[in-house]
Amino acid sequence: MNGHPLAYLDSAATTQKPIQVLDAVDDFYRTKNSNVHRGAYALSAEATDAYEGARAKVASFINAGGPDEVVFSRGATTSLNHIAYGWGLNRLSEGDRVVLTIMEHHANVVPWQLVARHTGIELVYLTLDDHYEVDLSGLADLLDERVKVIAFSGMSNVTGTLGPARTLVEAARSVGALVVVDGAQLVPHAPMDVQDLDADFLVFSGHKMLGPTGIGAMWGKPERLEEMEPAEGGGEMIADVGLYESRWAPVPHKFEAGTPPIAQAVGLGAAVDYLQKVGMEAVRDHEHEITGYALKRLADVPDLTVYGPTDPTHRGGAVSFSLADIHAHDIATVLDEHGIAVRAGHHCAKPLLRHLHVPATARASFYLYNTLDEVDRLIDGLLDARRVFGLDA
């Protein structure tokens, strides 16, 4: 890129794909392409086996109780909308509270705002402390019978902050509230066991974990999935349709209206195979190493501010920063000239950036294919940005 080897430091936005994933998608379209579930012929049966096989792989990856607990969707955003509309719109009413954190991605804010518009529920936010951790000091005062949902990010896409899952799950259980975890950043980077997590719902996206775009998953406890209404209606998700009412197909199919993303699911299954072969503990260890090294090197850049916990074991690999008064987009432009790809902007987390009193940040985010040498190139690029904008004068 621009005459340099690409240093791709934007995995929090989307990840690169290993050849195994590309081959799996290509093979499906070349040898198994057919619609699933409905065809009474061999090719459709093969496509159905591939699609449902991918569901089983995802279920195993997160240690679900079985494949039927995994609903395929277009991604974490769609899954969160399914929960907000399918559960929240039908079960929340005026005076109820949904507790969120200030570090949420817009995907875990806007759906609840829309539900609030229709139901009159109240949205309450936990903020961050001086160490960029979720401030739990006022949590006990919020916990009463009005709290019906606690929804939080497992890992911030801006600060890398890990959501205090144990504490928030225990808090929700103490008042009988539902727990929704946005795992879009967490699931690709750390081992996940939903039975140990004990949330009610977990959502994540395939494209952030080496898989294709257009595919993600919503895991839910069986009793929660049963009590939810589908947020989309159409073919495939029905058991019977009359002129004036319908009966839904069994879980998980009642949430998968229309032709599903079959090839994308197969690609996600291949990504799961790849990650399991590498080992999620190894993925997390590598992230600790490279994030710790990046935080150490960034601390040596004059006039640079990092937003997020300083201990790499307490955070993920999304590292947001600002450099003096240089706009984040200008930083990203200079880095691009060095072949370094970073994100710049509000990262779909405007409430958090307002809380941090910054209009935008630059963000380098790391994954299993990044190297320490690429961190060194990032630092060299930032030092060049200082030169370009006259900070060394």
Q: What is the DSSP string of 128-187?
A: B-TTSSB--TTHHHH-STTEEEEEEESB-TTT-BBP-HHHHHHHHHHTT-EEEEE-TTTT
* CATH fold of 19-277: Aspartate Aminotransferase; domain 2 (3.40.640)
How many residues make up the chain in this entry?
393
pLDDT at residue 38 in the model? 79
Q: Do 328 and 308 touch, CB atoms closer than 8 A?
A: no
Q: Check if 32 is active-site.
A: no
pLDDT at residue 393 in the model? 64
CA nearest to 155, candidates 105, 199, 107: 105
pLDDT at residue 392 in the model? 80
| Separation between Cα atoms, residue 216 and residue 268, nearest integer Å | 8
DSSP class of residue 289?
H
- Beta strands 318-323 and 304-307: pairing type? antiparallel
CA nearest to 365, candidates 16, 22, 3: 16
| Separation between Cα atoms, residue 315 and residue 155, nearest integer Å | 7
pLDDT at residue 140 in the model? 94
Q: Write the pLDDT tens digit of every residue in 318-327.
A: 999 999 999 9
| Separation between Cα atoms, residue 388 and residue 371, nearest integer Å | 26
pTM here is 0.96
Which member of 175, 348, 379, 383 is catalytic? 348
| Separation between Cα atoms, residue 116 and residue 114, nearest integer Å | 5
pLDDT tens track, the chain, 393 positions:
999 999 999 999 999 999 999 999 999 999 999 999 977 899 999 999 999 999 999 999 999 999 999 999 999 999 999 999 999 999 999 999 999 999 999 999 999 999 999 999 999 999 999 999 999 999 999 999 999 999 999 999 999 999 999 999 999 999 999 999 999 999 999 999 999 999 999 999 999 999 999 999 999 999 999 999 999 999 999 999 999 999 999 999 999 999 999 999 999 999 999 999 999 999 999 999 999 999 999 999 999 999 999 999 889 999 999 999 999 999 999 999 999 999 999 999 999 999 999 999 999 999 999 999 999 999 999 999 999 999 886
Q: Do 189 and 205 touch, CB atoms closer than 8 A?
A: no
Question: What CATH number labels 7-17+279-388?
Answer: 3.90.1150.10
Each domain of the chain, given as residue ranges in start order, spans 7-17+279-388, 19-277
